[in-house]
Every structure is written in structure tokens, then in C-alpha cells.
A and B are shown apart, each in its own frame.
Chain A
Amino acid sequence: MIQTILQFPVVTLIRVMLGVATAFVLLPALVLPRPMSARTTLDVMVVRGVRWLAIALLVSHLLVVVRLFHAAPILLLCAWLWFWTRGKSNIRTANRAADNNIGAGRRIPPLQRVWLRFADIMHLFEQAGRGVFSNWWANAVSFMQNIVRSIFSVRTLRIAILLVPVIAIVGTSLALRVEQSFRFETLSPPDTYIYLAWAKAFAANQLYVDGLYPMGLPAFIAFTGKLTPGIDLYELVRYTGAVIGMLTVAGIFYAVLRLSANVGAALFASGVFGLFGTISQWQQPWIRQTGPLPQELGFAIALFALPAAVLAITERDPDHLRTVGFAAVAIGLIHPSALGLYLAMALAGAIAASVFTANGNRFVLAVGLSGALGGIIAHLYLPIGVLAGIGLFRGLDQPFSRAELSGSREEQIISIMGTSGLGHNLFSLTAGGAALLAFIAAVFLVRSARTKRIGAQLAGLAAIGLVAVALYDPRWLQIPTNILAPLANVAGVGLTIAFAAGFAAVTAVLFSAHRPSLRPVVRTSVLIVLAAACVLSFSFLFERGPRTRAPSEYASTAAATREIMRNQDAFTYTLVGTPQQRQAVAGIGTFIELWVFARDVTVRDAQNPGFVIPDLSAMLFAADLGQSLPIPTTDTYIFVEKVPFPVPERPPVGPTEEYYYNREKRGRIMAAVYAWAEFYRHYHTNMSVYFEDDDIIVYQMSRRPNPVAAAAAPQFKDYTWQPGELFTGGPKGPSEVVIPWQD
């Protein structure tokens, strides 16, 4: 019963969100000191979170290098114990009070401090007995009563009502982002499967298994996985996308609120992106907000850290520089294009603030150096990895083959983007206008000593927005096209900041001109209502596009895969399927590519009742393996798409593209395996249909292999790619296969 409830999508989502909150909000609160630059509780939480993320990612990488990532919880526990026992002078027990050698200004060794802390707890019980619990209970009840009282008091009721639009926007934004995860067990977009596999490898102390590539996102997932017990990495990845999408929304809110001190502007910016991220003008494909992708995670972190770059100038507090540096480390470990965007925006914001305050040149340099230093630290893995003989990931050393990128540079970019073409439009130009408006308002604001700081911050915000406008069409940047496209994707999100700056400028001028002495609560109310109205009106101003999905397999395929993984013990089964299933079962079950299976089986074998797919014992004795087909597990599940999945066509730059992203060849592979399986089922007694619907059919084949040999070698197939040689003929899909004994 409890297990069933825990598997509910909503419960899983809540567990994932709690895991992320534990990993990046609660843990840093327990371990990291309060940042000196933080002004509010929200500041404390955000700054700690950003710094902790950098530390967690760095330490996770180091732990993987020394193959101790699985011990991360122990280290976290030690870190927490260290924090917990820092109050070393707090002598409580009778023994400690009587012993002059403990405490009294002497530094107590860490381990001893832990025991003393536990002794303190025992002392509490010695003194109060069960009263300890009643005291705690009384405190908890009092705490809850205070909350309830504050909510329902007449004074805060108005604020509570005003929170309705905020809750509506946040709730709707989350619902939009998590909808796909609720409805489908497939992961979307296709890249997500790669990060799933890397996260699994990371959790198993394997780094850069496919070459050098930023491992920040897999580390983020694996680290969160350590704090979400009972949820496997597949489920975690499935729901983390929505969480990261909401981090973007929250990041927009925080950045605008911290720099403009205008809750309306913050609500407008985050709300408009939260609700209308589907419109084509954002250049941020909707699917990128629903799956865990590194650029989005990196930019979300950037949004939280950007205010520090501007505040370092306006508040002249060096502690902000630490935040800038830590953020650069975290973002750099996650994705270089997000780092580049972050550094550009941070510098632009700092320079603008410096110009408007006219006294922050030294801090601008410091902001630049902090960011650069963080970026360098984050990218140390590149020279170290190259020296260690690890090659670059295919996407880095040879981003796209020439076969794939034909046509002009502009055509290539549009091809990569997969959405609307680049170039400015009414949307980005309006954002640019809003940013310029903010600059004008800032000029007026800085003339008054009372509003000088907020004016400079508004200028910083506008500058950040202008960078987003400039990179909305990044063709002027002479950088590789494969970096250009994601840069433009993510930069589109930043337009919200320009809009927000404009909103803040208008309202600031309005309030200053007409209602300078407006009470804060009224002012807040007006701003929130205005923001809500703007968010709603926004939907009428711009064209909305359909919300897109980019699954790479049928939902039933993912569901069947998950069910097999749930029902079978690890490594007792082999999946024969597509690359998506390979990532899903990586580290849990064995896998054979469908194209390899289709290459290596013959209907003639299937017709022979004496034919049994061999186990690995044959491999250990064979001089020439050829293309024999051993399978090391008792159960084998063969996935066939009765109707080949309508994949987007891709140029044949590798076996995955040639065999799975070519509809004709995918169909031929499915036809070959379907024919084989149906013939096998007719002449053998050990195959049954495990699952079937209109789209797919899953065959289950059982036999008992040698258990010793089965454990011998995980990599047992010949995956050599033979470009253009395989699957050039035959039926183009299972529907064309004639099974004589079937109607």
C-alpha cells in the first residue's frame, strides 16, 4: 500500500523536490556559514545554495576520481557533524563542567567534539527525562500556532490574498513543466537519456565514460540521488527536468527582485516565462524546460548569481565576489555556453552599475577576475583529462559532421535550432526597448541620493537584459554553430529580465512622480496586481505556438522497460532494444542493440527448435567469435515496434543515426526482428509475448545460461559500424512481414 502510494507521480515529484531541497537548501544551511552579503532569508538561502552547489559538484568530481562517490553521504554526515559541533565552548554536562581540561578556551579535537555533543543530548535526558520530548512538542506546537495565527490575522490576510496570483503562476508553471513527466514514462528530449547514463556512471564512480564533457548535470543528478532514497535515477531524471525548469522561473524572480526591489517586476518576468515559455519567440523550445539539460541548469544557477555581480558594485561588499566565483565554478562544470552567457551578463551588469554609480571600477575588475577564476577552476578537467589520455566527447572534438551541416551558416544554425530561425523580431526588439527605458529611468533615479543605489542596480538589470537581447540573434559572434544555437536558446530566456527592467522602470517612475509616500503594503498590492495583469495581457500580444514534445520512443516502450526493471533482479535480464533502453538499463541489466540483434539472427535459426542462443561460456573458448550471439542472462526481452516510431530523420553520422534515425532502416530492423521473433515463437517453447499494444510488442525469451560465464564479460557484442552496408533491403516494417500461420 505504502509502496503504491510512493509510486504515485505526484508523490514521486514531491520526493524529488524534497531531495533537491535537501541537497541544495537544507544541507548548505546546516553546513555553510551565513553569507555576510545576504540581506534577507531568501538571500541567505540563494547564496548558500549557489556556493554549496559549486562545492558539491567539485567534491563529487573528486570523489569519483578516487572512486569514493558512494561514500559521499558519509562525508556529508561528517561535514554536518563538524558544523553541529562547532559551538565548542558550550559546556553542558556535569563531567565537562567539572573537568577543567575540556573546554575552557582549549581547542577540542573534532572527534571529541562529536562525542561531547552527544553527551550534551544525554545530559538533556538526564536532566529532563521524557520532558525533553514534551518540550520539543510544545515548541513545535507553538511554532505551528504562530504560523496559523500570522496567516489568518486580519493584517496579513490581505497579503495572503495577494499571494494568490503568485501561487497561481508558480503552480501553473510547475504543472506545465511536469505535465509530460506525469503523462509519459519516456524521457524527453532524447539527450536526457545520455545524461541518465552518465549520472548512473557517475554514481558508480565512472567519469567521462564517453570522453571529456562537462559532468556537472550528471553530478547534480547523482548527488541529488544520494538524498532521494527509494527513487532510482531514471525517476529522478524524469522529474528533475521540471524542477530545473522551475529553477529558471525562480531564478528570474530572484534576480529581478534582488536588483529592482520590485516584486511586481519579478512576478511579471517569472510569470510571463513560466506561463508562456511555449511561444516561438522565446527561442527556448518547450522541451528544454521539461527535461534536465545542462544549459538550462547552468543558466538557472546564473540567474541566481547575477545579482551578486551588480551588488558587488553597488554595495561594495567583497562577499558578493565569492558568490560570483562560486557560481562560475558551478556553471562551468555544468556547461560552457551557460558559463559564457553568465560571464557576459555579469560583466555587463557590473559595468552598467559601475557607470551609474561612478565609483566601482575596481570592483568591476574583481567581478571579472572572480568569474574568470571560477571558470578556469571549472575547466581544469579539460587539461587534466587530456593529459590522462581521455579523448574529447564526440560533440566537442567534432561537433557535427560535414555531412550533417550543409548549406549556409544561417541554414546550419536554423537546422540545429530546430525552432524558428534566428534574427530579431517584435518580441526581442520590445525587450530591447524595455531595457533602454530602464536605463533612462536609472538616469533619473541615480540623481537622488535616496534612490541612487536602486538606480544603479536597475541599470545593471537592464544591461543584463540587453546582453540577452544581443545574443538573441548571435550570428554576429564568430563561434562554432553548435555553441551558437544553445547560446541563443538560453539567451532567449534572459529577455524576461529586459522586460522586467522596463516594468520596474515604469512603475518606479510612476510611484516616484505621483505617489512617493505610498504605504509599502499598498505599493506591493498595486505592483502584484499590475504584474498579474501584464502577465495575462502578454498572452494577447504575441503569437503562441503549440507545445512540443520530443520523445524518442513510444510511451509504452518506456513503461514496459520500467516494469521489467522493477520486476527483475539486476543483471538477470537482457533488453534488446533501442539506445533509449540502453541508457535506462545501464548498470542494472544487460543490453543488446536492436540493429546488432537484427544483424546477427537468421530466420533459419529461429526455425530450428534445437537452436538456443548461446551463453558466454562459448565466448571464453572461441578462437574466432565472428558475429555469434551470446546472451548472458536467463531472460531476454526483445522490443519490436510494430509501427516504427516516427523519429526525426538525421544524417548518418554514426550507427545510432543510420539505424534508428533513418525511418526506412529503423523499419527494416523492426521487420527483421519481428520476423525472427515470430518464427522463433512458432518453433520454440521458451518465448512468449510479454507485452503488446497497437505500437509495440515485447517478446520474452527464457533459458538458463551458465551463471559463471554469464558474469564474465559485460561487453560481448561486435558493435562495429558498417556504414551503408546493413539493412539495405527487405520489408520496411513489421506490417510488410508475412507470417504464414497468422491471419
Chain B
Amino acid sequence: MAGLTPLRMIAGFVIAGLLLSACAAPSERRLVSIREGELAAGYLRGQLLYVETRGVRESVLFRHDLWENKRERIRVPEGFADSPTWSPDGERIAFSLTNRAGQSHIWVVNEDGSDPQQLTFGDVVDDHPSWAPNGEFLVFGSIRDGDYDWRLFVVRVPTSTTYQRPMSRIERESDEASSVTIDEGFIATFRDLTAGEVRSIASDDGHSIFPDWSPDGRFIVYSNRDGANYNLRIHDVTTGTDRLLVDSGGDDMQARFAPDGARLLYTTNFEDDLWQIWSHDFATEEQTRIIGSDSMDEFPAFSYDAEFIAFSTGHLAIYRADAEPFPDGQLRWAVTINLAWSPDWKAP
């Protein structure tokens, strides 16, 4: 066979194989859209506080009236405002504010942003305040006193009026007494605190952060890391004792009590490193997954009647407590972190 020498033929087949093996189309990436949902007015009651980031050094606090579906900016001093939380009477808002020097302090303002008061001072990093149910104290995490671990501290909030817990809508409508009664013991613990004075509590080793005060005031749940991961611990304010609450094997953080104090929500990443929202039931001591989307679900907060859960999943999302998205999936708001649902009485 002229022209088809064995050598040429072998070379030909080698080339053919080589070419075919190299003929792989480059992978192409497709743009995938995500379904967006808009919240209509008249579906939900209450007001949400949340933070919208504006770059890394500035943020904006918003108060969103869910019933009217309108939001209003709360003007606070310049800096990166974070971790807003309603006072129990819904009149004031506590938050942390980071200045250009990287110092963070706890501030309190009225709900419209007026009368800003700085509660903590100095070269410190204070964050994640949580109100005591009587509105007189705030517990918060802090890096201070030359210690580079997070610790929990309590500060008294200056107030000129005598606090009286308002009646909830449910209570008003049902004429039943509240199932939550404030434990007077914790008030006694901090009675001698003067305004602006801070006191350390729950002096565990490692980092202690994300405190949340129970509705009856007796307990403070918080995250503690004394090893590889953050666990949830609960501190009894009246006795000063402390115990492990949740140790999932991952990081357990951002715990928030339900309005009745019978359970709490928290964020954990023990399953496949994916941040999900779980619930801990104090009666059964069982943990249940509430929300586990494909995104990083963080900063959960119960609504006043515990029927809904708001959380941040890059944007703000509201689900029914039984984990059904409401009303139409996600709300189309900007990058949100650290949100808080208003106390029940603010519902119309």
C-alpha cells in the first residue's frame, strides 16, 4: 500500500488518539438567577431592626414597619453600627458602634434615633448587647482590660423613668396573665451597679460572646469557645452558676430566646460546615433544625408571637416558625446582618 507505511500509520493513529483526547470543550459557567419575593403590606405585624452595610466601615440602621411595609432610617452617630436590639418597652434601641480607630462601644438611642447615649468607653471592643427584661441592664460581649478574649459584661442603662413592662397583644386580647414573670433575683444581683459601670459575669476561659438575656431575666445564654468550637452555655444570674447547653460539634452561636423563654434559636454549622438555624427546647433538652437553606443562615430572631422567624441569609428572610417561607420567599432587601424583631406591643 503506497503511502501507508507502518511507521506512518502508527504515527497517524497516535496523532489521532492525541487529537481526540485533547478535543475537550472548555467548561462554561452559566448565570443562574434567584427567585426574588417582595413583601406586601398587611401580612406581618411588628417592626424589624436591621443593619444594612455600606462598605466595611459604615452601616445604616433601619427600622422596618412590617405592617406598612415601610422602612425608616435611624440616624445614629457616625461609624459602623451593628447588633441593634429593642429595649423591652420598645422605646429604645441598644447597639454597638465602631469608630475609625477600631474601638466599639455600646450606645443607646430612642427608637427615632434621638438622645444618643454612649454607655461604654475606652480602648475596648464591645458588641452584641442584650437587654435585661426590666430594661435596666444590658449584657454584652467585650474585649477589654488587656485581655484579648471576649468576655461578658453587664452595664446599667441610665433611665429616668420607672420601667413597667407593657402588656402584650396576646395578653390584651386574652386577658390572661403573662406566662413570663420577671425574676427579681437577677435585679438584686446588679442592683449596686451604677450607671455606666460594667461588671464581668460568666468568667469562663476562652471567648464568651453573643449573650441573650432570658425573658424572665434569670438566665443569660451565650456562646463560649474554650477549645476548637463555640458552644452554647447558659449562665444563671441569680446563682452565678453556669452550664453547657448545646455542644453540637460545630460552632453554635447567636442564640435568641423565644418570647416565652421555653426555647431558643441559634445558628450552628456542625452539619457540612453549613450555617443553619436550630432550636433548643428547654423542656425536652432536644435540638431541632428549623431552617437549613443553601445559604449561610444567621442572626435568627423570633417574632413577638413566635409565629415567624426572621434571619439573615445574605439578605433578610422571614419564615414561618414551622420553616415555611413567608409570604413569598425572601424579602428584597440589601445585605443585612444582626436583626431584631420588635416587642409584641408594637404590633397594631
Contact = CB atoms under 8 A, between A and B. Distances in A.
Interface in A587-629: 587, 600-605, 607-610, 612, 614-618, 620-629
A226 B25 CA distance: 11
Max chain B C-beta neighbours (<10 A), residue from A204, A607, A623: A607
Given A117-B4, A602-B102, A621-B314, 5 more contacts: A70-B24, A77-B15, A136-B6, A708-B34, A709-B34
B143 interface: yes
B199 interface: no
A712 B31 contact: yes
Interface in A536-573: 570-571
A131 interface: no
B314 A602 contact: no
B159 interface: no
A204 to B, nearest CB: 5
A602 B57 contact: yes
Contacts of A608: 127
Contact of A570 (B27, B274, B298, B335): B27
A607 B335 contact: no
Interface in A684-710: 685-686, 702-709
A615 B295 contact: yes
Interface in B6-40: 6-12, 15-16, 18-27, 29-34, 36
Nearest to A621: B315
Interface in A435-472: none
Nearest to B313: A617
Contacts of B10: 136
Contact of B334 (A571, A610, A621): A621
Contacts of B69: none
A229 B148 contact: no
B104 interface: yes
B1 A124 contact: yes
A620 B30 CA distance: 15
Interface in A73-103: 73-74, 76-77, 80, 84, 86-87, 90, 92
20 contacts: A26-B11, A27-B15, A84-B3, A87-B2, A90-B3, A609-B230, A609-B251, A610-B209, A610-B253, A610-B254, A618-B335, A621-B36, A622-B315, A626-B54, A626-B56, A634-B273, A685-B228, A685-B251, A706-B314, A712-B33
A226 B54 CA distance: 47
B3 A86 contact: yes
A628 B58 CA distance: 10
A609 B125 CA distance: 12
A740 interface: yes
Give 3 closest A-B pairs by Cβ, nearest first. Answer: A73-B19, A617-B314, A618-B314
Interface of A: 22, 26-27, 30, 70-74, 76-77, 80, 84, 86-87, 90, 92, 117, 120-121, 124, 135-136, 139-140, 143, 203-205, 225-227, 229, 570-571, 587, 600-605, 607-610, 612, 614-618, 620-629, 634, 682-683, 685-686, 702-709, 711-714, 740-741
B330 interface: yes
Contacts of B176: none
Contacts of A702: 273
Contact of B272 (A76, A614, A627, A704): A704
Contacts of A604: 80, 98, 102, 104, 125
Contacts of B315: 617-618, 621-622
A704 B273 contact: yes
A40 to B, nearest CB: 20
A620 B80 contact: no
Nearest to A86: B3
A620 B335 contact: no
B105 to A, nearest CB: 12
B321 to A, nearest CB: 22
B131 interface: no
A629 B337 CA distance: 14
A219 B268 CA distance: 50
B151 interface: no
Nearest to A70: B25
Contact of A30 (B12, B272, B294, B296): B12
Nearest to A78: B19
Contacts of A616: 314
Contacts of B333: 621
Interface of B: 1-4, 6-12, 15-16, 18-27, 29-34, 36, 53-58, 80, 98, 102, 104, 125, 127-128, 143, 148, 150, 207, 209-210, 223, 225, 228-230, 251, 253-254, 269, 272-275, 293-296, 298-299, 313-315, 330, 332-335, 337-338
B32 A712 contact: yes
A135 B294 contact: no
A703 B125 CA distance: 25
Contacts of B148: 682, 740-741
Given A604-B80, A618-B335, A626-B53, A704 B143 contact: no
A644 B80 CA distance: 31
B22 A226 contact: yes
A644 B229 CA distance: 33
Given A627-B55, A685-B229, A615 B31 contact: no
Contacts of B4: 84, 87, 117, 120-121
A711 B296 contact: no
A609 B253 contact: yes
B127 A229 contact: no
A275 B334 CA distance: 64
Contacts of A603: 102
A704 B207 contact: no
Contacts of A225: 22
Given A22-B15, A76-B19, A704-B269, A87 B314 contact: no
Contacts of B54: 624, 626
Contacts of B335: 614, 618, 621-622, 625, 628
A686 B251 CA distance: 9
B209 A609 contact: yes
Contacts of B55: 600, 626-628
A706 B29 CA distance: 16
A143 B313 CA distance: 71
Contacts of B11: 26, 30
A140 B10 CA distance: 11
B123 to A, nearest CB: 12
Contacts of A705: 295-296
A84 B6 contact: no
A720 B152 CA distance: 41
Contacts of B2: 87, 90
Given A30-B12, A74-B19, A617-B315, A685 B225 contact: yes
A708 B330 CA distance: 15
A86 B2 CA distance: 11
Given A26-B15, A229-B22, A607 B36 contact: no
A73 B12 contact: no
A704 B15 CA distance: 44
B234 to A, nearest CB: 18
B296 A703 contact: yes
A77 B296 contact: no
Contacts of B15: 22, 26-27, 30, 76-77, 80
A605 B330 contact: no
A706 B27 contact: no
